[in-house]
Structure 1
Amino acid sequence: MVKKLFHPFLLSLVLMGCNTQPSAQTPSGSSSQIVIHRFDKALFQCIESKDEKLQQALEKEYPQMLEILDKSLFNSADSSLSAVSLNLFKYYSEPTLRNLYTDVIKAYDSVGDIEAALTTGFTYLHSQFPDMQIPAVYMHVSGLNQNVLVADSLLSLSADKYMGIEYPLYKAFFNQPQRNKMQRELVAADYLAGWLMSEFPFTGNEQQLLDRMVYEGKIKQLVLEALPGIKMETLMGYTQQDADWWQKNEGVLWKYIIEHKQLNAADRITTARYFEDAHNNFPVIGAPANTGTWLGWQIVKAYQNKSNATPQQLMQVKDPNEILRVSEYKP
């Protein structure tokens, strides 16, 4: 049975069950390298060549990816590999999408830098969560759909969502704050965030602001610890102007939330506005995108400073009010 879930928060994430599992990886030290399986290249080669032998080789080598990608895009009734392949070939033959795919293959011809970052990140996560299975890592092109696909011990990222802020096609579909996060330097971070979200799924009330804040703050904090070379401002897609805004207005925004009793109120519409991927004037003029995520990270960071909690201990605390209480967060 396939479980399909469009995650409402950090990433566009699809979680799926799969009857067959790829080989997972378990980094135990600096010499254990994460290798990205280039499903994107193999599928592109089939599309370009229309070679039946290459198609058969693709179906033999990547049955899980074909199944998962097909279900995420089409959820087809006919799940045979030959039917799945034909669906995907037709889908990627659309001229705009084919041009996008061609650009992705050129931009991501080499991914050694990403593999190195993933090796660092997953080695750290495995050291903190020894029971965590490290997935087999793939890359795909979704046509500007799901960022991350997760199935059993498989993790794949859609490289066409990371072509750079100025990529021409993006301007017709994405606003500036969204494009700020569609960069190569965030690929490894989003791989890790997607896997963490599948390993530690959200169990709170998505209508409650504090629940969502703390959950997102936990995921961001773990990614930052796993990839020490990246900054939170980069993860958030913030400009220097956004960072300056927080320096001046963090206390103002927190005061507004407390005075309006929004932290634990089950208000879906109000809560959702704190996580919009766009600049807006709610609830304070000039607020950057995703103010809820930033505040959640501040709370989690303060909690760890006060409690000296390990990552494992942090993830074991399920009550966001306990996280807030211990953090003594008062900007």
Structure 2
Amino acid sequence: MRFLFAVLMVFCLFFSCSDKKQQQIDVSKVKVDFSVKRYDVDFYNATTESLLKVKQKYPYLFPDAFTDSLAFAKINDKEEQKLFAETQKIYADFNDEEKQFSSLFKHVKYYNPKFKVPNVVTLLSNIDYENRVIYADSLMLVSLDVYLGKQHQFYADYPKYIKENNTKKHIIVDVASAIIEQQVQPSNKRRFIDKMIYEGKKMYLLDSYLPEVSDQEIMGYSEDKFNWAIANEEQVWMYFIDKKLLFSTDTKLNQRFLDNAPFSKFYTDQDNLSPGKIGVWLGWQIVNSYMQHNDVSLQELLKMDEDVIFTKSKYKPKR
């Protein structure tokens, strides 16, 4: 039985990878122009002579209340310098990340030619994991101290499901997610199935923008949680049907199945084996099924009513 399960898992993962390869497109001719500025390096290396140049280079990071004395208190703080030193161990060379940004921006622009490519600014935020990336019009602010690796000592007291995404390879996922949050219009639908599909739209967009990134990384799951999601897709779907949750407007379902969490809440003694936001995963599968069965562009998908997507998706959970 265990052998059969292992074979099924390999089978599922193989076809998951195959689906992703089918989505890859040629963006080599798409032109993007952007800069990557290292505010973290410029700021923490600043001296009394060079601080003025740093302020002139990054005026948006120096509000009037942030005086020179406060700036130097921050620069000379031992804990701040320790955080900067740990970040530099990993991100002194930022070339790989810059290439990832370029690929992402090209994919976004391919699907949305009107997309204005932002300039990227790296900084430290004292590990503010709730604001890992801030996207504001022409700027993309990235807090590098949130991405030191899930085993890093600075994250010792953080929940495991949070630490799982405090990694170098998750930067590009968070940057893409910040862009998508501004591209997908909020839904006013209240039914659980509509909310699932709304989240599924965003995941489909992530997958399209990041064809080289695995489904597991896009979802932000650990390997065991991702395997659980694949292996239990049909059981979860049947649970939603049996409990009459799909068309429910109970807002508590958001917390149970859509919000980022250590696990989803089925109210069983094995809930801790499941990943959080399992409703997002199923919503993505429904949107995948819809796109496979309908000739629709990505931009048309974003405008499509969730009820239409569900009806025409012909979704059948994988067994």
Asked if the contact 1:162–1:182 (Cα under 8 Å) also holds between the matched residues in 2, the reply is yes
What is the CA deviation profile of residues 200-232 of structure 1, one whole-angstrom value per residue up to 9, with x for unaligned ones? 342435x65334322332222222222221111
Q: Residue type matched to 2:45 in 1?
A: Q
**Does the alignment pair 1:298 with 2:285?**
yes
Alignment-derived partner of residue 54 in structure 1: 50
Other-structure match for 2:20: none
1:37 corresponding residue in structure 2: 37
Percent same amino acid at aligned positions?
A: 24
Q: Distance in 1 between matches of 2:306 and 2:267?
A: 22
**Post-superposition offset of 1:281:** 4.8
**Equivalence for 1:166:** 151
Alignment of 1:114-133 (within 5 A): 114-133=97-116
Q: 1:105 aligns with which of 88, 91, 94?
A: 88
Q: Given the two structures, how large is their TM-score scaled by the length of structure 2? A: 0.80
Whole-Å separation in 1 of the counterparts to 2:217 and 2:75: 31
2: CA distance, partners of 1:236 / 1:117: 18
Question: Structure 2: how far apart are the matches of 1:98 and 1:118?
Answer: 27
**Offset at 1:103?**
0.8
What is the Cα-based RMSD across aligned positions, in Å? 2.5
Alpha carbons 1:117, 1:227 under 8 Å: kept: no
Aligned partners of 1:93 and 1:307: how far apart in 2?
A: 59
Question: 1:204 maps to what in 2?
Answer: 188
Rg comparison, structure with higher value: 2
Tell me how far apart the structure 2 counterparts of residues 252 and 229 of structure 1 sit (CA, whole Å).
29
**Does 192-201 or 208-217 show the bigger shift?**
208-217
Task: Give the Å deviation of 1:260.
Answer: 2.4
Pairs within 5 Å for 1:262-281: 262-274=245-257, 275-281=259-265
State whether residues 107 and 209 of structure 2, in contact with CA within 8 Å, keep that contact through their aligned partners in structure 1.
yes
Of 160, 163, 180, 2:164 maps to: 180
Q: TM-score, normalised by structure 1?
A: 0.77
Which residue is equivalent to 1:256? Answer: 239
For each residue in 1:44-96, what CA deviation from the matched residue of structure 2 results, as whole angstroms up to 9, or x when unmatched?
A: 212xxxx23322111111112x05xxxxxxxxxxx41x636655554566544
Unaligned runs of 5+ in 2: 1-26
1:117-167 deviation digits (Å, cap 9, x = unpaired): 111111111111111111112112111211111222111111111111111
In structure 2, give the amino acid aligned to 1:300.
Answer: V
**Structure 1 residue aligned with 2:196:** 213
1:204 touches 1:212 (CA, 8 Å); kept in 2? no
* Structure 1 pair 262–83 and aligned structure 2 pair: CA distance change class (3 A): same
* Structure 1 residues 75-154: aligned runs within 5 Å: 79-80=63-64, 83=66, 86-87=69-70, 89-90=72-73, 95-145=78-128, 146-154=131-139
How far off is 1:259 after superposition?
2.6
Partner of 1:12: none
Distance 1:94 1:323 in 2: 53
Q: State how far apart, in whole Å, the 1-side matches of 2:230 and 2:73 are.
A: 50
- Compute the displacement of 1:248 (Å): 3.0
Offset of 1:307 from its aligned partner? 1.3
Q: Which residue of 1 aligns with 2:303?
A: 316
Partner of 1:157: 142
**Maintained 8 Å contact 1:218/1:300:** yes
SS in 1 for 2:45: helix
Distance 1:254 1:89, change over 3 A: farther
